[in-house]
Amino acid sequence: MSSIPCPERLLLGPGPSNLSTEVREALASPMIGHLDPAFLALLDEVQAMLRTLFGSEEAWTLPLSATGSAGMETCLINLTEPGERVLIGQCGVFGGRMREIVERLGAQPIVIEAPMGESVPTQAMLDAIERERPHVVAFVHAETSTGVAQPVESIAHAARSQGALVVLDCVTSLAGMPVRFDEWQIDAAYSGTQKCLSCPPGLSPLAIGPRALERMRARKRPVQSWYLDLSLIGGYLSSKRVYHHTAPVSAIFALYAGLKRVIGEGLEKRFERHVDAHRALVSALTPLGFQFPVNDQERLPMLNAVVPPYDDEAEVRRRLLLEHDIEVGGGLGSLAGRIWRIGLMGENACRESVEKLVRALESFT
């Protein structure tokens, strides 16, 4: 049908994941205006479904018109002013990116680093909150570069009790494991569409709580970025529908269809499916000599950091891609050449994905 010169792959890397037929059909829908009442009604529904996914009754949710990395930047630059202290829990590449964003906005990052392949120790974060009295505490729920899950609740509560705002990176966790915005007392969270939502990359779902909105309203100076200024974006999403930029209509159609699928399946069932696929992967890859370096309690189900048993891991990945149309991810940053990142996300979180991968790997021996 399509003239796009790309083969069909099974995407078992760190994202994007494969699209459902429903999402592909939604993408191909006729274009409509970004101020059309029919589109605005659909956008309202997207925002409501995002509230369900983030686990929030009262957060303001929206699909930001850029990828997950822009979601990170948006949350940090809207809630922080130059000179303020931002405590960052870093257990991989994405915590490092937070630091860079905070530095660029002229604020002061304070970084607590996790030992490699582990989560950031809660006690170290609690001590730093007590000691540094940060304005904002930011960390990653599911670190895509290491496959580590970060415990959230105690850190968020401690931050709150000191008056700090809590920013949580849910790029890889949303729609694949529980995110409880209200219960955990998060103030701002962001995600991406191309991971457990199985939509195309290009949007960043955001949730912004009432304390964060209050902090934004009390800012002394405007946010440096015009495009990512949530107070301006809010004008379009409010009942006033003030034009800010042209919303990416097709991507929002895809997100609508993807969210319908998630809610149709049921969140708990979807989370279990991710855990089940992860267990199948462990059972299947361990006999082949793969190691799972992240300890069992901190392991993400949807993003599996594994040590492959090959002398030339890049060559095996290349053959998987070119001979079997299966993508798995390599290591990022200092882990390049040392680990694989096997994603079992959204549509791909199933035993069939695992079986196809194992069959391909076995064919090499």
Contacts to a copy of itself from residues 201-230, by CB under 8 A: 201-202, 222-228
Contact residue for a copy of itself among 1, 220, 239, 268 (CB under 8 A): 1
Binders of a copy of itself in range 67-96 (CB under 8 A): 67-70, 73
Question: How many residues make contact with a copy of itself (CB under 8 A)?
Answer: 75
Instruction: Report, in Å, the least distance between residue 30 CB and a copy of itself.
Output: 5
Instruction: Report, in Å, the least distance between residue 65 CB and a copy of itself.
Output: 6
Comparing CB distances to a copy of itself, the nearer of 119 and 204 is: 204
Q: Which residue has the tokens 């793969």?
A: 290
Q: Which two tokens stand for residue 57?
A: 């009754």
Residue 283, helix vs strand vs coil: helix
Q: H-helix or E-strand containing 270?
A: helix 267-285
Comparing CB distances to a copy of itself, the nearer of 13 and 301 is: 13
Bridge partners of 207? 61, 189
16 binds a copy of itself (CB under 8 A): yes
Binders of a copy of itself in range 241-260 (CB under 8 A): 243-251, 253-254, 256-257, 260
Q: Which residues of 65-85 are buried (b: 16+ CB within 10 A; e: fewer)?
A: bbbbebbbbbbbbbbbbeeeb
Binders of a copy of itself in range 252-311 (CB under 8 A): 253-254, 256-257, 260
Instruction: Report, in Å, the least distance between residue 291 CB and a copy of itself.
Output: 24
Instruction: Report, in Å, the least distance between residue 237 CB and a copy of itself.
Output: 15
Instruction: Report, in Å, the least distance between residue 266 CB and a copy of itself.
Output: 18
Residue 16, helix vs strand vs coil: coil
Comparing CB distances to a copy of itself, the nearer of 110 and 332 is: 332
Instruction: Report, in Å, the least distance between residue 264 CB and a copy of itself.
Output: 11
Name the residue type at position 294: V
Residue 85, helix vs strand vs coil: strand
Q: CA of 356: how far to CAs of 67, 115, 196, 206, 359, in Å?
A: 29, 33, 19, 34, 5
Each residue 181-200 as x (binds a copy of itself by CB under 8 A) or -, in order, gives -----------x-x-----x
65 binds a copy of itself (CB under 8 A): yes
Instruction: Report, in Å, the least distance between residue 104 CB and a copy of itself.
Output: 5
Instruction: Report, in Å, the least distance between residue 287 CB and a copy of itself.
Output: 27
109 binds a copy of itself (CB under 8 A): no
319 binds a copy of itself (CB under 8 A): no
Comparing CB distances to a copy of itself, the nearer of 67 and 185 is: 67
Q: CA of 236: how far to CAs of 24, 34, 44, 225, 250, in Å?
A: 27, 10, 11, 17, 17
Comparing CB distances to a copy of itself, the nearer of 222 and 289 is: 222
Q: CA end-to-end span of the chain, whole Å?
A: 36
Each residue 332-351 as x (binds a copy of itself by CB under 8 A) or -, in order, gives x-------------------
Binders of a copy of itself in range 17-36 (CB under 8 A): 17-19, 22, 24-34, 36
Up-side HSE of residue 37: CA atoms within 13 Å toward CB? 0
Contact assessment for residue 165 and residue 215, using Cβ atoms and an 8 Å cutoff: yes
327 binds a copy of itself (CB under 8 A): yes
Residue 23, helix vs strand vs coil: helix
Pairing of strands 85-90, 136-140: parallel
101 binds a copy of itself (CB under 8 A): yes
326 binds a copy of itself (CB under 8 A): no
- Per-residue H/E/C for 172-216: CCCCCCCCCHHHHCCCEEECCCCCCCCCCCCCEEEEECHHHHHHH
38 binds a copy of itself (CB under 8 A): yes
CA distance linking residue 357 with residue 354, whole number of Å = 5
